[in-house]
Every structure is written in C-alpha cells, then in structure tokens.
Chains A and B, each alone.
Chain A
Amino acid sequence: MPILSLDPRVNRLQAEQVSDDQGPVLAAGDHWPSYQVFHQRRRGEKHSSVGIVHAPSSEMAMALAKEQYGRRGETSNLWVVCSADVLEMDYADEDVFRTTPSKSYRDPAGYKVNEKIDAFKAKNQG
C-alpha cells in the first residue's frame, strides 16, 4: 500500500512505507568526496574558508558551492579544493606557536623610543 498524504506530490510518488528491517539505502562513498570551499566577498578582499560541499568532481563542487555559499549577500569569487588535498597541521603541535605572541622583537610595538628621546631632549635643552 503506497503512503497516502495530504500532499498530492507525495501521492504521485507511490512511495511504500519503509519496512521495519530496512537495510542500508546508501553504500559508503555514494554521497561523494568532500571539497573545502573558499569565498571572496568582493574583489580585493581575501578568500575565506566557509565550509564544505560533497561533489563527484571539482566542477560539480563549484556548481554546488555557488548554490550553497553564494545564494545570499555579495560574492565575487569562489575556490574549491578537495579535502584530501589539504595537509592539516596536528592540533597537538599547537604548542610550537605558544611563545610566538610574546616575541616582541618581531613586532613594531616591541620598539619604544619616545621616552629615550624625551629624556635626551630634556637633558640637552635643560
């Protein structure tokens, strides 16, 4: 007995009730590999990672990315990259960067000379 619905479109499907011992409908890989999507809002801005799409090829990934990540607001450009082609650093190695923010010698704020100049001026003009 097909499912009877309020929706005539569902009735046209002639869909049968899912049986109690329903096995898998999909096999591994049926929904394709995933692609990481990078979105540029306007020319001149950078591309940012916005999420993923599942697709059989980069061309299809691009078509789906336009629909999924470009359907609202501004979009100037998109990149798609197969997730398998991205090499990711291990989060466990995060600590190699732990001391980086304190490396003031790499930072403009690490160089303060005004006090010296003021002291020098005060001494020589005084």
Chain B
Amino acid sequence: MYGGGYVPVGAEEPKAAIENPELLAQFEARIARGEKIEPRDWMPAAYRKQLIRMIEQHAHSEIIGSLPEGTWITRAPGFRRKLALMAKVQDEVGHAQLLYSAAETLGKSREDMINDLINGKSKYSNVFNYPAETWADVAVIGFLIDAAAIVNQVANSKGSYGPYCRALERICYEESFHLKQGHSVFVWLATGTSMQRDMLQQALNRWWEPIMHFFGPSDKMSQHTETLMRWKVKMATNDVMRQQFLNMYVPKIWELGLSLPDPQLRKDESTGQWLFTEPNWDTFFKVINGDGPCNRERLAVRKVAEERGAWVRAALSRADARYVTPLA
C-alpha cells in the first residue's frame, strides 16, 4: 500500500533534451505505442532516476507500512482476525521484496535502498508516520489506506516500466484481499455496539487528514509532472486520484452513518467533483521531513531489524556468493 511517487515541490523538469536525441525519440515512440521498457533498454537518466525514487519509496512504504498494523497482531480480537492480519502483514513485506527487486533492475542495490531508508535520504508514504492507537485504526488503515493505495497502484500498473508493472499486477491482486478484510473489520465495528462505533468514529477523525494527504499535494502546488506523465512514470495527477478515491469511498463511509471531520466535504453534482477543505500541507511537509509522531520509531525499528539480524545473514552466507542484479 502506498501513495505518491512523491515529487518534491520545485523539483526540476527532467532535462532529457541534453541526451542522445535519436535514442530519446525511439524511447518515447516505444512508450507512445504502448510498449513496455525493460531493464537493459536505453532510457533517459531522468526516467531511471525518477523510477528508482518512486519504486524505492513504494518498497519502503510497504515495509514500514507493515509496522503500525503489525502492532495489533498480538492483540487482534479473535483467531480469524489474527490470521487475516498476519497474512496481510506478510503480504506487505512480500510486496516490499517484489518492489525492491524491480528497483534493483534499474541499478540500485537493495542494501543501498535500505541504507537510504534508515538514514532518511529516501522517503516512504507519510501515512505510516502515524500510530495505530486502537483496533479501529487497523480497520481504517486496512479499508481506506489500502483503498487509496489501490487507486494509485492500479494507475501505476499501466505505466511504462515492465518490471514495475509485473510487480504491481501481483500486488494489486493481494491488495484487493487487504481491502476486503479491512472493509470487513470496518463494517463489524460500524454495526457493533455504541462503544465500537465510537472507537471507529474517533479513528476516522484521526486518520482523515493523513488520508487527504495520501495522494500528495494538489496539482496546483506540484508542477513539472508533464514529462513524467508522457513517459508513463506518473499515470494520473494527485488531484485526479484523490477525486477517484473520494468518489468511491466516501459513500461507503456515510452509508454506515459515520461522519468525516470536514464540514465542506460534498459532491458537486453539476461537475461530478468533490469539494473539500484543503488539508494542512504544512503538516504534510513537516511529517514527511521527519517530524511526525512515529518517524523516529519507524526508522529505529527498521535499523534494529537489520543490525540484529546481521548474524543470521552472515551465518547463512557463502564465501563464493556474489551480487548480481535480478533479471526482470
């Protein structure tokens, strides 16, 4: 689960023109024909760089995203819920593995990606910097964050880079199970006792702003996506995806008699567009730059996992093994 392909505000437009114009024309023609780019094809440096950044962020989001939910495995209400949550969290870690290998085909090793995650150089989806305070948070994450991730991932799966598309095909299939199980937990709480409904409402109130942040800043704020869209790296703008998400899921929240903490939120029937209060983007930038409620915990836990697992990897390693980039 993931959102973005976060392009920093003010990022420079890729300077493709300074590269080999003939190869660039062939590359762009291939994409325009709807063909995929494969790992050892010629590609503009800016394409490679943005794809590494995007797939790597996606991988980090999967592995960090498993932490807030993993918190609740030991305290899941009942055996079936526990089994489902274990399966979901395992899937998320599996997605990270698939995505790391897709990014590796572009020339950055998994070790380097994990190093850059831990030292803070590369980002992951901002939503995972928030805690899962109650079991209802697990419902909101499993239903709405995964739903938002699916909107983003289905769009990206039609992109131009072969290995990323192949990974996303499998990921989208598994995410649809996550969404269903999340919706099930959500509905159980929403149709339960008044205490359960109250717990769910509070979780919704907590998560609404991070969810509105999920697709990234408004298109008005993030320029320079034109080339990335022509290259089918970014497949839909942040605003388009946010509208899609609101259109599909707000009715599913309202039909259960729950509310969302935004008095402006409604669909303008004449335009088909959702109207909402612009979330606080200063909060978004503050959290993505390291100062959210759980950023420090997430990275510390990741670091401990790598460090304290080192002896196991060393014990299993063979002296003659050497690194090789995955094929596809």
Contacts and interface: CB of A to CB of B under 8 A. Distances in A.
B174 A15 contact: no
A76 interface: no
Interface stretch (A24-32, A96-104, A105-113, A114-122): A24-32
Given A6-B133, A71-B90, A25 B303 contact: yes
B213 to A, nearest CB: 21
A84 B320 CA distance: 12
A24 B40 contact: no
A74 B233 CA distance: 33
Contacts of B131: 6
Interface string A50-85: 111110110010000000100110000000001110
B313 interface: yes
Contacts of B313: 30-32, 56
B167 A15 contact: no
Given A15-B300, A16-B300, A25 B317 contact: no
B271 to A, nearest CB: 41
Nearest to B37: A91
Interface in B290-313: 294, 296-297, 299-301, 303-304, 306-307, 310, 313
A17 B111 contact: no
Given A9-B71, A51-B101, A83 B303 contact: no
Contact of A36 (B97, B294, B310, B327): B327
Given A28-B111, A56-B316, A91 B326 contact: no
Interface stretch (B46-54, B57-65, B112-120, B272-280): B112-120
A29 B71 contact: no
B40 A83 contact: no
Contacts of B114: 25-26, 31
Given A3-B296, A31-B111, A83-B326, A52 B317 contact: no
Interface residues on B, range: 35 or more
Given A31-B313, A72-B174, A82-B324, A54 B300 contact: no
B94 interface: yes
A68 B99 CA distance: 13
A110 to B, nearest CB: 27
Contacts of A6: 71, 131-133
B40 A34 contact: no
Contacts of B119: 18, 22-24
B148 interface: no
A72 B313 CA distance: 27
A53 B321 CA distance: 14
B317 A32 contact: yes
Contacts of A10: 71, 297, 301
B38 interface: yes
Contacts of A5: 294, 297
A24 B115 contact: yes
A45 interface: no
A24 B71 CA distance: 27
A16 B301 CA distance: 9
Interface in B15-42: 38, 40-41
A29 B320 CA distance: 11
A18 B297 contact: no
B324 A84 contact: yes
B111 A49 contact: no
In order of increasing CB-CB distance, the 7 nearest A-B pairs are A26-B111, A15-B300, A84-B324, A34-B326, A22-B119, A52-B326, A7-B71
13 contacts: A15-B303, A17-B296, A22-B118, A22-B119, A24-B119, A28-B323, A31-B313, A32-B313, A33-B322, A33-B324, A52-B326, A57-B321, A84-B322
Given A25-B115, A56-B321, 5 more contacts: A16-B300, A23-B119, A28-B112, A51-B101, A57-B316
